[in-house]
Chain A
Amino acid sequence: MSNKTVSDTASSFTAEIEGRGRLRLADCYQCGKCSAGCPMVDYMDYLPHQIVRMCQMGEDSLREKVLGSRTIWLCVSCETCSTRCPKDFDIAHLMDVLREMSLEAGLQHADASNIIAFHKTFKNGVEKTGRLNEFPLAIGYKLRSMDLFSDVTKFPKMVTARKLRFLPHKIKGRDKVKKIFAKCEARIRAKKRGKK
């Protein structure tokens, strides 16, 4: 099928986004102010307003385009778009929703693996100890992303400045934090099943 033509196949894509995010996609009238002010557009495959447009159209082949895009992982949540949107449409939040959906569907862009690796390491650390320790985070991330040598020159300074600690601090309530993680993951999974 043509890469530039979409059919009018009905899809649940639009409804699913709206259900998760408490967003009304029809609110967007495609003025493009989000794209005009986005700091990351130079690195994106689709401009933010194009992502919104494809979500509005909601056709099946667009689900893969959107959830598999680089754009959703390059968004740094600076919220410039949401702040300036004349329709009060929370694009930054839409990006959160799309990342969540992208991960669940296993559609995440290959280039996003670095970012996802970072998030994963981060969350694992917090889940285990209740807090984040950036040294294990950096090490763990470097192992996951296989990007072993960048920034190594900076570590000695950070260690001598006592900016990196080797041993993570563990909070007393870490069981409670672990439980919060478990419950949140379970509820998201349940919501996803409910959709299907």
Chain B
Amino acid sequence: MARIGVFVCHCGENIARTVDCARVAETAAKFPGVAHAVDYTYMCSDPGQNLIKEAIREKRLTGVVVAACSPRMHEPTFRRAAAEAGLNPFLCEMANIREHVSWVHEDREVATAKAIDHVRIMVEKVRHNEPLYPIRVPITKKALVIGGGIAGIQAALDIANGGQEVILVEKEPSIGGHMAQLSETFPTLDCSQCILTPRMVEVASHPNITLYTYSEIEEVEGFIGNFEVKIRKKARSVDLNKCTGCGLCMEKCPMKKIPSEFECGLGARTAIYRPFPQAVPAKPVIDREHCLMFTRGKCGTCAKVCPTGAINYEDQDEIVTEKVGAIVVATGYRVMDADLYGEYGYGKYPDVITGMQFERLLSASGPTTGEVRRPSDGKIPKKVVFVQCVGSRDNARGVPYCSKICCMYTAKHAMLYKHKVHDGQAYVFYMDIRAGGKNYDEFVRRAIEEDDAMYYRGRVSKIYEENGKLIVKGVDTLSGLTIQVNADMVVLATAVLSQEDAEPLAQKLSISYDEYDFLTEAHPKLRPVETNTAGIFLAGACQAPKDIPDTVAQAGGAASKVLGLFSSDELEREPVIARVNEETCVACWRCYNACPYGAIEKKEIKDRQGRAVRWVAHVNESVCAGCGLCNAICPSNSVELDGFDDEQLYAEIGALSNE
């Protein structure tokens, strides 16, 4: 005989404003099988949960229905309370009378009647519920970090220092990412390389970290605690074990004029190259698109000069498979192509450059060894115009969002320029100064007050060259005057975009992404480092434009989530999984083909003599995600989903129709 308790929550005013909660409880008390029904202001609060626990014990309840908010919000809360009082948690169900009732209706009568129906449905379901027991799955205590910029480096080090193994995959020949390209960092002006390179070295030497550079993610399968990842190690053409990093090959390579990606085209590199001297690993790679051995089939200089025989032109891509329990995605960002803006003449005038190029001009390890010299003639520019929001906040040709970092780095650029060129003048065209952050606004003010940067409030309409000057036509909306600056150099603060391959990667990982291909967090406030796929976490600018402090903080957060997951040996999974009735299964394999998780296996049924008599479908409990596709597709009705079986669902529908 069922003895079900019904607990109706007011959710403060959220539900009670439109639903007569007392009447819902009174009505529910009369439903068949209901032994107890009450309403209360906040059922999720401590006293509210105690109401449930006490009733379970005192009234010897066999099931519980909590009529409150969405189960997404509080089902775990109430199931935990039920379990604490000795009731199997899967005998506790929620009726959603907030999102489905009070928030979407205005009429109190209608809403109350609908709330009563919801409770009636769930009471019927609980009458048919069976106790279920969690499934335990082992965890592979090894994490995969995708991306070796500052986000990936930080996450990998934090996990590794927490005592767990990490595989770090980077698609470029070296780790370091964009931060390695930067000169000095706001708001403290400490040297980017000086704070980054020690961490890069730590990654390379850490006993818990396996580093795959020049490698990409090929395929991801499995689920939280049990992922299987295929990694493509691209042919480097240099044997990392034999190479000592002496650099002789790069010295002798005849292809010396390839624009360096690391220098944003302001410097050149060879065909066998390492992106920058502090690269980790400090060993080169052959760029097959430019290497004469690959383009013309002759040269072989590097192989001839290599003292250790590390050059291997026959090298091929290699696929390695790794089992991991958690994944941190830290794939970073790219900057927009400035040549989208014909009116700014980027690509036409060599002295119109991007912010990232200006970083290289400022950097002591850059193409001008840190002297600000313009690309066209190497002269020191005396007037430099910085244009913010190039592509950002631009619905017409760019992206509508704010790229977040440009206000700060432009102030830094203006400041560093003045530090290097004392008689120079920096002009900044801005729309709004967004400097929210510790010591950020003070930093911008310093650029204006102490380093004499002239800030004009407005956009630039056109840049053209005349008599060796770049004529910048802008406006200052504060004074209502148009501005013309005859500049020596122009720096465009281009928009931050998601990586070009963010979408295919997200699809491989089955995680969601927004319309700009930034990867989406599970909850913008409360779950900022998780994705909607359990066991996969986010760090850094792959999620949204972000500066270094925020990136490092998020990477630490992601690492702590991974360490938390790895703190137990087994993972408890919800027992809502499919089950096959082997008596009626006809082995048509529709479920086998439909299952997106590969959870259906083919099982042989043997007779007493051990002879195989027929095949049936079988569900692998640890892989099944309980999506119910097999249940729906089965023509012989042989698959049931625990917790949502036919009997339970018919009871729910029946409750509505038999009223």
Listed in ascending order, the chain A residues whose CB lies under 8 Å from chain B are 29-38, 41, 46-47, 49-50, 80, 84-88
Q: Which residues of B contact A36 (CB under 8 A)?
A: 458-462, 473-475, 482-483
Provide the bound-state CA to CA distance between A87 and B392, in Å.
11
A86 touches B393 (CB 8 A): yes
B459 contacts across to A, CB distance below 8 A: 31-33, 36, 86
Beyond the given A36-B473, A38-B482, A87-B396, could you list 8 further A-B residue pairs with CB under 8 A, ordered by the A residue number?
A31-B459, A32-B474, A32-B477, A34-B461, A36-B474, A46-B480, A50-B480, A86-B459
Considering only CB atoms, which chain B residue lies closest to A27 in the complex?
Answer: B395
Residues of A within 8 A of B476 (CB): 32
Q: Closest residue to A47 on the B side, CB-wise?
A: B480
User: Which size class do B's interface residues fall under?
Assistant: 20 to 34
Q: Which of B446-503 contact A (CB under 8 A)?
A: 457-462, 473-477, 480, 482-483
Find chain A residues with CB under 8 A from B389 CB.
Answer: 31, 86
Nearest 3 Cβ contacts at the A-B interface: A37-B461, A32-B458, A36-B461
Nearest Cβ on chain B to A171's Cβ, whole angstroms: 40
Contact status A49-B477, CB under 8 Å: yes
Q: Can you list 20 A-B pairs with a CB-CB distance of less than 8 A?
A: A30-B477, A31-B389, A31-B431, A31-B458, A32-B475, A33-B461, A35-B477, A35-B482, A37-B461, A46-B480, A47-B477, A47-B482, A49-B475, A50-B480, A80-B461, A84-B461, A86-B389, A86-B459, A87-B395, A88-B396
Interface residues of B in 378-397 (CB under 8 A from A): 389, 393-397
Q: Are A37 and B462 in contact (CB under 8 A)?
A: yes
A41–B477 Cα distance when bound, in Å, is: 13
CA separation between A188 and B389, bound complex, in Å? 40
**What residues on B are CB-neighbors of A35 within 8 Å?**
458, 475, 477, 482
**B335-353: which residues lie under 8 A (CB-CB) from chain A?**
343
**Residue B396 contacts which of A46, A47, A86 (CB distance < 8 angstroms)?**
A86
Taking CB as reference atom, which chain A residue is nearest B460? A36
Q: In angstroms, how far is the closest chain A Cβ from the Cβ of B524?
A: 24
Name the one of B395, B398, B458, B483 contacting A33, with C-beta atoms under 8 angstroms.
B458
Q: How far is the CB of A119 from chain B (nearest CB, A)?
A: 27
Interchain nearest-CB distance for B475 vs A (Å): 4
A86 touches B475 (CB 8 A): no
Bound CA–CA A103/B469 (angstroms): 44
Residues of A close to B431: CB separation below 8 A:
29, 31
Residues of B within 8 A of A49 (CB): 475, 477
For A29, the chain B residues whose CB sits under 8 A away are 393, 431
For residue B35, give the distance in angstroms from its CB to the closest CB of chain A: 58
Q: Which residues of A contact B460 (CB under 8 A)?
A: 33, 36
Tell me which of B397, B473, B477 contacts A37 (CB under 8 A): B473
Query: Is A41 a contact partner of B482 (Cβ separation < 8 A)?
Result: yes
Q: In the complex, what's the smallest C-beta–C-beta distance from A23 to chain B, in angstroms? A: 15
Q: In the bound complex, do residue B398 and residue A86 qualify as a contact, i.e. CB atoms below 8 Å apart? A: yes
Report B570 CB to chain A, min CB distance, Å.
54
In the complex, which residue of chain B has the Cβ closest to the Cβ of A41? B482
Contact A86 B395 (CB under 8 A): yes
In the assembly, what is the distance between CA of A9 and CA of B224, in Å?
60
CB distance from A61 to the nearest CB of B (A): 18
The complex places the Cα of A46 from the Cα of B482 at a distance, in Å, of 11
In the complex, what distance in Å separates the CA atom of A59 from the CA atom of B164? Answer: 65
Question: Chain A contacts of B397 at CB under 8 A?
Answer: 86
Contact indicator A86/B394 (Cβ below 8 Å): yes
A45 to B478, CA, bound (A): 16
Q: Considering the chains assembled together, what is the distance between the CA atoms of A85 and B397 in angstroms?
A: 9
The reply to whether B475 and A88 form a contact with Cβ atoms under 8 Å apart is no
Closest to A50 in B: B480
Give Cα distance in the complex from A47 to B396, angstroms.
22
Residues of B contacting A86 in the complex (Cβ-Cβ under 8 angstroms):
389, 393-398, 459
| CB-defined contacts of B473 to chain A, threshold 8 Å | 36-37
Q: Name the residue on A nearest B431 (C-beta).
A: A31
With the chains together, A37 CA to B482 CA distance in Å? 9
Residues of the B chain whose Cβ atoms lie less than 8 Å from the Cβ of A31: 389, 431, 458-459, 477
Distance (whole angstroms) from the CB of B477 to the closest CB of chain A: 4
A26 to chain B, nearest CB (A): 13
CB distance from A33 to the nearest CB of B (A): 4
Closest to A42 in B: B482
Which residues of B sit under 8 angstroms from A34, Cβ to Cβ? 461
Complex formed: what's the CA distance from A183 to B658 in Å?
Answer: 65
Task: Tell me which residues across on chain A come within 8 A of B393, comparing CB atoms.
Answer: 29, 86
In the complex, which residue of chain B has the Cβ closest to the Cβ of A31? Answer: B459
Of the candidates B458, B461, B476, the one having the most CB atoms from chain A within 10 angstroms of its own CB is: B461
Tell me, in angstroms, the Cα distance from A192 to B394 when the chains sit together: 34
Alpha-carbon distance A30/B154, docked complex (angstroms): 40
- The smallest C-beta distance from B247 to any residue of chain A, in angstroms, reads 46
Query: Which of B343, B474, B482 is the most central at the interface, judged by chain A CB atoms within 10 Å of its CB?
Result: B482
Whole-angstrom distance between the Cβ of A27 and the nearest chain B Cβ: 8
Complex CA gap A167/B459 in Å reads: 50
Cβ-closest chain A residue relative to B393: A86
- Which chain B residue shows the least CB distance to A37? B461
With A29-B431, A31-B458, A33-B459 in contact, do A84 and B343 touch (Cβ < 8 Å)?
yes
Contact with A along B384-428 (1 / 0, CB 8 A): 000001000111111000000000000000000000000000000
Cα-based distance from A32 to B480 in the complex (angstroms): 9
Which residues does chain A contribute within 8 Å of B477, judged by CB atoms? 30-32, 35, 47, 49
| Alpha-carbon separation in the docked complex, A84 to B483 (Å) | 17
**Which residues of the other chain, A, contact B483 by a CB distance below 8 angstroms?**
36
